[in-house]
């Protein structure tokens, strides 16, 4: 047996004021999107903002539905909308913001597993890694340099493609 060590680098910002101007703009866009989420059942509002290579910003928010699991997460709403409208543009960065009407979160709020899988596929087709900003406790912000840091053993599309 061999032991494999894998590490992830995580940056931590004490407040929004520590972010660079373009990152702050993206994070605020995610926060504004969370405020418009349809979270009628969970009370958990999530917003996502993507910056494309032309510096345009696409937003998404969670959309719940009484017929669970018919709703959709903020990250997938933003990614699908951006790529449906601009399939040839790359993604420069992603910001996520979340809050609950019922509880105060104690840790970093990161994307769910389904969103991570969608995000990693877009990153694999992107010319560079995609940094992800996420909210932490007490208005802190966490950032990873790549979606792969959130899902190190992702399911790769080449696993299902025919070999030539």
Q: Could you give the C-alpha distances from 162 to 142, 153, 159, in angstroms and in order? A: 38, 21, 8
What distance in Å separates the CA atoms of residue 150 and residue 164, rounded to the nearest whole number? 31
Question: How much helix, strand and coil, in percent to the nearest 5, is found in the chain?
Answer: 30, 25, 45
* 101: annotated active-site residue: no
Per DSSP, 112 falls in state -
Per DSSP, 145 falls in state S
What distance in Å separates the CA atoms of residue 118 and residue 80, rounded to the nearest whole number? 9
Tell me which of 16, 25, 75, 156 is the catalytic residue: 75
Query: Per the structure block, which two tokens stand in for 140?
Result: 């802190």
Catalytic positions: 75
């Amino acid at each position: 047996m061999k032991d494999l060590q894998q590490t992830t680098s995580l940056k931590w910002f004490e407040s929004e004021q520590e972010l660079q101007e373009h990152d702050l703009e993206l994070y605020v866009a995610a926060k504004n999107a969370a405020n418009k989420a349809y979270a009628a059942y969970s009370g958990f509002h999530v917003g996502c903002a993507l910056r494309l290579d032309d510096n345009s910003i696409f937003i998404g928010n969670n959309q719940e539905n009484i017929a669970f699991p018919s709703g959709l997460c903020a990250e997938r709403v933003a990614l699908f909308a951006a790529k449906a409208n601009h399939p040839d543009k790359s993604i420069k960065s992603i910001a996520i913001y979340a809050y609950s009407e019922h509880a105060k979160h104690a840790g970093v709020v990161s994307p769910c597993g389904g969103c991570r899988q969608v995000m990693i596929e877009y990153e694999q087709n992107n010319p560079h890694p995609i940094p992800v900003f996420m909210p932490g406790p007490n208005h802190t912000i966490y950032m990873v340099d790549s979606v792969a840091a959130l899902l190190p053993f992702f399911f790769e599309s080449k696993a299902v493609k025919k070999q030539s």
